[in-house]
Structure 1
Amino acid sequence: MIKLPFAEYREAEIREYEGHPLINALPPINSPQATAKMLARLPNVDDAEKVLPAHIRRHAMMRILDQFLYPTKSHLQLEQMISGMIRRGYLSRNIAAPDYHRNLDDVAHTDFSAIFRNAGNEALVSSVIGCSGTGKTTAVEAILRSYPQAIFHPDYQHCQLVWLKVECPHDGSVKSLCTHFFRAVDDALGTDYQALYVKSRSSAESMLGDVARVSALHSVGVLVIDEIQHLEKSRSGGADKMLNFFVTLTNVIKVPVLFIGTPKALELFQPTMRSARRAAQFGSLDWGRFARTENTGSDEEWERFFKRLWKLQWFEHATPLTHEMMDLFWEYTQGIAHIAVALFYLSQVRAVVAGREAIDRVLVTKVYQEELAMVHPMIAALRSGREETILQYADLDVPREALRVQSALQEAPHIPVVRGIRTDAEDSMRDRLITILVQMGIGEDIAPVVAEQALEEKPADDLFSLVAHIKNLNEKNETTAKQAQPKRDKRTLLDPVYVDDDLRLIRQEDPEKSYQSLKSRGTVIDLLAYI
């Protein structure tokens, strides 16, 4: 049996949440600043690891793939949406209310097979739709982890399941999805629902009814269904049946349902589901790739993301980031975060293994051509900008007709700067300063270190003041070095004193005939006379 954390109730933030144990046991509602700080995941780059052998260092580099997350506006929007869905969904499910157990008993005797055939619209259904590799699932999982998955309320003898994430089976089978649901509940609570409800003779409709009852029994806060586009493969109306069931969950039990999927999922939404998307009080989020246009500042999020990624270098001397390199990565990734991270990681590994300790245009191009060949057609489609070409790869981008004006809720405030992460202005100042230092003759390997030191010592100075500060330090160092040189002793030269047959005098007589002079004086002996 899994030991669940006991509920600790907090003061309600607003009047509607007062007296709701399921809501008051949740963590506080996050501000945008708190959300950005909570979601930011920056791998540690240890200086000691930068000198490790290449075959060991590449293992440390793998942190880039699974420990890097830089929050964007979409992350803040998503966190607000999930936070609202969980809390608003609990408003009509108050375990402290006198009629709670009566309502629970009504759910236990509800004939769901008759209800979900004619499901209506409900505002608690929402979705996150975006092309593959843009980080939808990673973002949702990071936000869900900020909540305890399960909480035990001893005063009410109630096990609350705050969130549950289930992946839609590849075959789109209703029974497989129900099995995944029961398994996820068992993993979270230590129960044995899979053995209880999953039988070979169980029908899909009966299992869906059991899913609804378990969801009500444990007060599921939000049910997340990932890879919803797999329902496309469901046979004999299974997709409609399952989608109607999820709407029924929100109608009858008030369990919010969040779908995650690629643009293929949009084809599955019948008019009922499309109406639910439009009516959703929390909005439905179109999770696109990074955007980049000719407008000034429009690629701000891409630059923020890539500058943070570029800092994760396991080289003894980091390669400075240039606009040309940023443009090259955009050309090869088209703003898809997953591909950008993979290309950066593979390029760095290739550089370390080859002993180059630097990332340049030739290396990145070679890695892209050799190791990411499978995505070339998709990247080319995005690069072309032609809708008919993009639609050939349904998982790539949200179709134009699916794009809509975001609601006021989705217009999140400017992303706050998380402490410990350098701002764009600081990065720009550092890059420009490094360029000037290199032009001044300072080595490319030393310039970044000098620039960092100057920025730390004079954080409020402008570019010219920083250059003057560095030159002043250089002049002081040269003066100090000269002063530190040992002074030569002044010695009085004495006149030489010679002796008879002094070799120095013989040498001075005629340097070209030194041998003959030495031989005539008997200084050089002819050995042939003794043989």
Structure 2
Amino acid sequence: MIKLPLAQYREAEIREYEGQPLINALPPINSPQDTARMLARFPKVDEAEKALPAHIRRHAMMRILDQFLYPTKSHLQLEQMISGMIRRGYLSRNIATPDYQRNLDDVGHTDFNAIVRNAGNEALVSSVIGCSGTGKSTAVEAILKTYPQAIYHPEYQHAQLVWLKVECPHDGSVKSLCTNFFRAVDDALGTDYQALYVKSRSSAESMLGDIARVSALHSVGVLAIDEIQHLEKSRFGGAVKMLNFFVTLTNVIKVPVLFIGTPKALELFQPTMRSARRAAQFGSLDWGRFARAENEGADGEWERFFKRLWKLQWFESPTPLSQEIMDLFWEYTQGIAHIAVALFYLSQARAVVAGREVIDRTLVNKVYQEELAMIHPMIAALRSGLEATILQYADLDVPRESLRAQSSLQSAAHLESFDQESPAEAKGSKRDSLVTILVQMGIGEDIAPTVADQALSECPNDDLFELVAHIKHLEERKPAAPSPKVRSRTKEKSAPVYLEDDLRLIRDDDSEECYQTLKARGVIIEISSYL
């Protein structure tokens, strides 16, 4: 067995945590400022490295890819959520009381195969859902590593497993997921559970009870399941069974479970986890892309992130940051952190190899067109803002407007909250919510803003219910065909709709670059081959 760090108990921060060895052996509860300092990772750019040959400098630049983490508000929220889940999950598992051994005995006699058929709605199940490449898995892992993974309590002869992160296999195999669990425990504790429980004839069903017993025996603080959307590929109802089992873990032995996945995972949660997600004490975090500042000249999360990234230049004379370059990176990355970091690294590496140490528009265009061609359809989908287009790609998120209120019509409390805002905020919020409701009613996303503006201008003092009724009343009428003037005015207000490989998106200001890009896409045909 691996030599584990010995428990060092701290004074409890609140009275519920007094006399709780599993909680008091943890690091102190962090303030947001402490969390930001602990999570921030900024690779060092040595001045001496800037004079190295280009082929060597490229290796130093690779630090950008794996040593850069800019903490945001979402990181702080996630840290508080995980901190709360671990501690609240330990409250009913006190190793200093006789109840602990009785609970272990109960787990040993529990038929988990029967329980998972009808899982409950335990509040310790939560999730982090976001677009692929936004850094959610990296964030969870960085936060978990602020805790020791395992702690040994000599007084109680107990090996505590504070956290465990397991990745769902690509084929969605439930048996492989169970195997990954035992392998992760063995790596953390130096045990041999995989050899003990994973046999060639072992079924996933037989291993579920073993997972529960090992989790109880080692007081797992939080179990993080990454890439949960892969369960969608599981055959014969395995996904439903596995999700129910994780909820059962929280019901029977109070092990908090954190799901991490792309929006595709929401399809798994809807039939089996709806009540659990509603009951969650800690909420479910929507890990979105970076948002741009609404006001010109202000700094949003995207601006702060990119300004910090831009400082990581291995040039003897760093390229100053311009608004044009920042806008260009936004256009090509749509606020996805992983893509922004990759594009910045590739652009800088190409500039060094070419002997022209400048990152400009022409260079970034060339790198994006040649080295990131595979992601062009996804970026074009995000750029379009059309939910139907975005949902063609399982790893992408849906537009912010659609996420803002998923059930506005059903939630009276949500509607009433607008009355508490300032007049200026209420007007903007009311319009946004009305647009969301109209989209959910089936009105096209390109028409909904115009309809909302018209309704607000005609009935400015009405609440959302009254505005929806007003619009439905207008729909019931049979309007005359619009005059050409009205039709023209409506068209001017509508936003352009881009399709995949739209020529307007792949064109370039540089005529030569534009020609080469169109030729690569098969738009331009070599006529000589037909002569």
Under a length normalisation based on structure 1, what TM-score does the superposition of the two structures give? 0.75
Counterpart residue identity of residue 143, structure 2:
I
Q: Which residue of 2 is the match for residue 465 of structure 1?
A: none
> Conserved in 2, the CA contact under 8 Å of 1:292 and 1:298?
no
- Seen in structure 2, the aligned counterparts of structure 1 residues 119 and 243 have a Cα distance that, compared at 3 Å, is same
Partner of 2:479: none
The 1-side partners of 2:359 and 2:84 are apart by: 44
In structure 2, C-alpha distance between the alignment counterparts of 1:324 and 1:298, rounded to whole Å: 15
Q: Which residue of 2 aligns with 1:76?
A: 76
Task: After superposition, give the CA deviation of every residue in 1:48-91 in whole Å (9 maximum; x if it has no partner).
Answer: 00000000000000000000000000000000000000000000
Secondary structure of the equivalent of 1:127?
A: strand
| 1:360 aligned onto 2:356 | no
Amino acid corresponding to residue 197 of structure 2 in structure 1? Y
Structure 2 Cα separation of the partners of residues 82 and 19 of structure 1: 21
* Higher-Rg member (1/2): 1
Is 1:210 aligned to 2:210, yes or no? yes
How do 1:223-234 and structure 2 match up within 5 A? 223-234=223-234
How many residues are treated as equivalent by the alignment? 408
1:300 and 2:300 are equivalent in the alignment: yes
State the Cα distance separating 1:294 from its structure 2 match.
3.9
Residue 171 (structure 1) shift: 1.2
Q: CA deviation at 1:98?
A: 1.8
Structure 2 CA distance for aligned equivalents of residues 404 and 48 of structure 1: 52
* Residue 275 of structure 1, CA deviation: 1.8
Q: Distance in 2 between matches of 1:73 and 1:405?
A: 22
The Cα shift of 1:293 comes to: 5.9
List alignment gaps of at least 5 residues for structure 1: 409-531
1:119/1:248 contact within 8 Å kept: yes
Measured in 2, the distance between the counterparts of 1:313 and 1:130 equals 29
The 3 A distance-change label for structure 1 pair 276 and 401 is farther
| CA 1:187–1:294: 2 relative to 1, 3 Å | same
Return the letter of the residue paired with 1:78. Answer: L
Tell me the distance in 2 between the aligned counterparts of 1:226 and 1:19.
Answer: 33
- Using the TM superposition, give the Cα deviation of residue 297 of structure 1 relative to its aligned residue in structure 2, in angstroms: 7.4
The residue number in structure 2 matching 1:19 is 19
Cα distance in 1 between the residues matched to 2:103 and 2:253: 9
Does 2:360 match 1:374? no
Letter in 2 for 1:304: R
Correspondence 1:401-412 to 2 at 5 A: 403-404=404-405
Aligned to 1:28: 28
Task: For 1:145-294, list aligned pairs within 5 A.
Answer: 145-292=145-292, 294=294
Contact 1:288 1:398 in 2 (8 A): no
Distance in 1 (alpha carbons) for counterparts of 2:141 and 2:406: 26
Distance of aligned partners of 1:64 and 1:13 in 2 relative to their CA distance in 1, 3 Å threshold: same
Q: Whole-Å Cα distance in 2 between the matches of residues 192 and 60 of structure 1?
A: 39
Structure 2 CA distance for partners of 1:149 and 1:32, relative to 1, 3 Å: same
Measure the CA separation in 1 of the matches of 2:298 and 2:132: 22
Q: CA deviation at 1:271?
A: 3.7
Structure 2 partner of 1:7: 7
- Paired residues for 1:26-175 under 5 Å: 26-175=26-175
Question: Is the 8 Å Cα contact of residues 32 and 76 (structure 2) preserved in structure 1?
Answer: yes
TM superposition shift of 1:45: 0.3
Whole-angstrom CA distance in 2 between matches of 1:98 and 1:379: 57
- When the two chains are superposed, the root-mean-square deviation of aligned CA atoms in Å is 1.7
Q: How many angstroms apart in 2 are the aligned matches of 1:295 and 1:351? A: 32
Aligned to 2:355, the other structure's residue is in SS state coil
Inter-CA distance 349–121: structure 2 relative to 1 (3 Å threshold)? same
Counterpart contact for 1:17–1:24, Cα < 8 Å: yes
Which of structures 1 and 2 has the larger relative contact order (alpha carbons within 8 angstroms, sep 6+)?
1
The residue type equivalent to 2:20 in the other structure is H
Change (3 A) 1:281 1:298: farther
Instruction: Give structure 1 regions of 4+ aligned residues with deviation exceeding 6 angstroms.
Output: 405-408
Amino acid at match of 2:41: R
> Per-residue CA shift, 1:126-145, capped at 9, x if unaligned?
00000100000000000000
Which SS does the other structure have where 2:314 is aligned?
Answer: coil
Structure 2 residue identity aligned to 1:265: A
Counterparts of 1:401 and 1:200, CA distance in 2: 46
Whether contact under 8 Å (1:329, 1:340) holds in the other structure is yes
Name which of structure 1's ranges 98-107 and 147-156 shifts more when overlaid on structure 2. 98-107
- Structure 1 distance, partners of 2:373, 2:304, is 27
More off after superposition, 101-110 vs 122-131 = 101-110
Paired position in structure 1 for 2:316: 316
1:166–1:154: structure 2 CA closer, same or farther, 3 Å change rule? Answer: same
| Residues in 1 aligned to 2:284 and 2:298: alpha-carbon distance in whole angstroms | 23
Partner Cα separation in structure 2 for residue 402 and residue 273 of structure 1: 18
Shift of 1:393: 1.1
Listed as ranges, the gaps of 5+ residues in structure 2 are 408-412, 415-531
Deviation at 1:201, TM superposition (A): 1.6
Structure 2 CA distance, aligned partners of 1:86 and 1:404? 29
C-alpha distance after superposition, 1:140-159 (max 9, x if no partner): 00000000000000000000
Cα deviation 1:204-256 (Å, max 9, x = unaligned): 11101100000000000000000000011000100000000000000000000
String of CA shifts for 1:167-192, please: whole Å, max 9, x gaps: 00111111111000000000000000
What's the CA shift for 1:295?
4.0
Amino acid of the structure 2 residue aligned with 1:388: A
Cα deviations by residue, 1:294-320 (Å, 9 ceiling, x for unpaired): 445775111110000000000001111
Paired residue secondary structure (2:65): helix
8 Å CA contact 2:292–2:303 kept in 1: the answer is no
| CA-to-aligned-CA distance 1:248-282 (integer Å, 9 cap, x gap) | 00000000000000000000114441221121100
Structure 1 Cα separation of the partners of residues 44 and 296 of structure 2: 33
Q: Which amino acid aligns with 2:247?
A: V
Contact residue 387 and residue 398 of structure 2 kept, 8 A? no
TM-score computed with the length of structure 2 as normaliser: 0.75
Choose 298-307 or 50-59, whichever is displaced more. Answer: 298-307
CA contact (8 A) 1:229 1:265 kept: yes
Do the aligned residues in 2 keep the contact of 1:151 with 1:161 (CA within 8 Å)?
Answer: yes
* Equivalent residues of 2:72, 2:301 under 8 A apart: yes
Cα offset, 1:357, TM superposition:
1.1
CA displacement 1:84-130 (0-9 Å, x = unmatched): 00000000000001221111111111111111111110100000000
